[in-house]
Chains A and B, each alone.
Chain A
Amino acid sequence: MTETTPDSDVKFPPVVGAGPDEATISPATPGAAVADLPDGVDLVHEHGLEFKSRSQWAYARRRFFRHRLAMASFVVLMIILLAGVFAPLITPYPFAAQDFAHSGQPPTFKAHHYFGTDVLGRDYFSRVVYGIRTSAKVALIVTLVSTIVGTIIGAVAGYYTGWVDNILMRFTDLILTLPALALLLTAAAFLGTGNPTRVAFILALLFWTGLARIVRGSFLSLREKEFVEAAKAAGSGDLRIMFRHMLPNAVGPIVVNATLIVGIAILTEAALSFLGFGIQPPNPSLGKLISDGQDVSSSMWWLVTFPGLTIVLIVLCINFIGDGLRDALDPTQRRTRA
């Protein structure tokens, strides 16, 4: 079994090194190894030795698409959102049109009353769809504003540290010591409500705190990294360093949390409207729809059920998407699927 002769088709000089004392068999330098090879032998591209290099974003994208639930939720959510955007086109009736002849009907397909009608004969499907529209609008405003505010505050606190950080974080903590819903209700009660935009801004007043904390944490660790020192040495100003160099690295958790904020915003707005402190008629709101249906809930169950189910579906999709994003963007999470 011992082989002492090399293959017959290839002849090489013996590999033995130089003199007996040194006795070092010099390991080939890469250049030498390749130069010594006969033609036609290319070790780099040999089968099994290739490496595909992928960028970070490509990895993230690939992981997101692998998350089937997130993908499915994305599709469902898009459908729902589009329904809201194109509400006038898809709703069979205007949402305020009253029709006493057909009031209080359970869901049917006949007269296109998919979700039934309410006490005043208004088509419930239309009302729910318009409610989706409002919820989407409020949620987007809240998320945008609180993300921007939270990111700025967190970035400043995490970058400058010291007393700036102290003050900002104490302020954030202070807001957190007060019960969220109660604060919102108070603000709403005294500031007046009704208008979706106004409600959105009231909500945004509170929602930036979580994001600020997270961004601050990210920036605190990022500022120790060498590329920040390098940027400083190159003469970049603080603002440039913060937003051009550090922020792109903190984007992952920001995106994930912003997604979750959308869901919480929808739930909170619904709660406010339900209690009467949120969006008021004539603006439609899913929460208000539920509270309207509360009194007759035992007989006309659909008045409470459909708006609620819609909320659950929307937030569920958002949460799954957030989970998928977290999988995609958080490199420390490993899921080995057998």
Chain B
Amino acid sequence: MTGFATPSTRLSAERVPEPILSIRDLVVEFATEDGVVHAVDGVTYDVFPGETLGIVGESGSGKSVSQLAILGLIPQPPGRILRGEADFQGRDLLKMSKKDLRRLRGGEVAMVFQDPMTSLNPVLKIGEQIAEAIQVHQEDVSGKAAKERTIALLKVVGVPNPDRRYDQYPHEFSGGMRQRAMIAMAIANEPKLLIADEPTTALDVTIQAQILEALKKAQEESHAATILITHDLGLIAELADRVVVMYAGKVVELTDVQTLFAAPRHPYTVGLMDSLPRLTADEEWLRPIPGQPPSLISRPPGCPFHPRCFLSQGRARCRTEEPPLRKIGRDGHLSACHFAEELEGHTSKLVNEPVAGATS
């Protein structure tokens, strides 16, 4: 399909490579006591090899669920994938057999989760858990070889004394080290696609920088495409090439990271940028986005953002017609807003902020 954001300009401009992951119109819902929760409502985007795609959104925007769903990690009784396609290297993940999907998980597609304390099995040694990931995907690897590779991986992600740490349990690791062990576990089989779900959210800010380093090293080591799910715009600025902004289970904006900060074209993105405090100037008041995210069970008709939107101003179209994700202006920039053009010419206040490490 054409019309979707091309990869960042870092890659060669001669040919547009094939996306490694293509998600088309994914719809996931959950049956709960209070009704059906529409967690992911028609999500579409691509991921290209070698790039880092950031997915930004509030809690409940569906950013994690869409990834968990395509990997088959959503328990299907309360959850249900209603429709959609998720092409990974030409094969539709949603139509794959459970066995094939399992072979992919941890092998070509790996995931790093949010809370490393609860994401590691407390009664097994860390080294064992990583070696297990290796041995289940590469059956001819001996126990000793797996152990050696594990220790090498731990070194890559920056865990000191890896040979001693191999025999330790998760509770003997600090939070940052645990997350590094998780990253090591994820890249153990040289995945083509690495999904990092809020990798630094549960950690101290001071540790976050270390984890970023570990992630960067992991990317270098494995040359994997990375999906970085987070609500932290700073992380996005630091690591992402392109960004998907999600709200209420839908994609509302998709573009490369520079454009996202310099010229956002969706009122939600604008609101997000605006709500960040400026580092270099005094501000008297912080400007949050007013209101609450909508209930995913009974969503208002029309655009999901309209009750909180400054751009809408009660216009009937916003209240009745759901805006499709469409091209805006420059190539590769998509926005789901009827009136995105009215934001033309406006840059977010952050464009002049010193953002550490941002490439221009």
Contacts and interface: CB of A to CB of B under 8 A. Distances in A.
Establish whether A and B are touching in the complex (CB under 8 Å): yes
A16 to B, nearest CB: 7
B290 A48 contact: no
Contact of B343 (A25, A27, A47): A25
B315 A10 contact: yes
A29 B287 CA distance: 8
A7 B307 contact: no
Contacts of B346: 16-17, 23, 25
B162 interface: no
Interface residues of B, number: 40
A30 interface: yes
Nearest to A336: B78
Dominant secondary structure at the A interface: loop
B300 A29 contact: no
A16 B319 CA distance: 21
B274 A27 contact: yes
Contact of B326 (A1, A23, A33, A47): A1
A6 B317 contact: yes
A36 B313 contact: yes
Contact of A7 (B31, B275, B315): B315
A25 B266 CA distance: 12
Contacts of B324: 1
A48 B299 contact: yes
Given A6-B317, A12-B313, A336 B300 contact: no
B341 A4 contact: yes
A24 B271 CA distance: 10
A3 interface: yes
A41 interface: yes
A23 B346 CA distance: 6
A47 B300 contact: yes
Contacts of B315: 6-7, 10, 12
A110 interface: no
Interface in B290-346: 290-291, 294-295, 298-301, 307, 310-311, 313-317, 319, 324, 326, 338-339, 341-343, 346
Given A46-B319, A336-B33, A16 B290 contact: no
B311 A15 contact: yes
Pairs of residues from A and B, 3 with the lowest C-beta to C-beta distance, nearest first:
A48-B300, A37-B314, A28-B310
Interface of B: 30-33, 77-78, 270-271, 274-275, 287, 289-291, 294-295, 298-301, 307, 310-311, 313-317, 319, 324, 326, 338-339, 341-343, 346-349
14 contacts: A4-B341, A7-B315, A10-B314, A10-B315, A12-B315, A15-B342, A28-B290, A29-B290, A36-B313, A38-B314, A48-B300, A49-B300, A336-B32, A338-B31
Given A26-B287, A27-B270, 14 more contacts: A10-B314, A10-B316, A14-B342, A16-B342, A22-B349, A27-B271, A27-B275, A28-B310, A36-B313, A43-B307, A46-B307, A46-B319, A49-B294, A49-B300
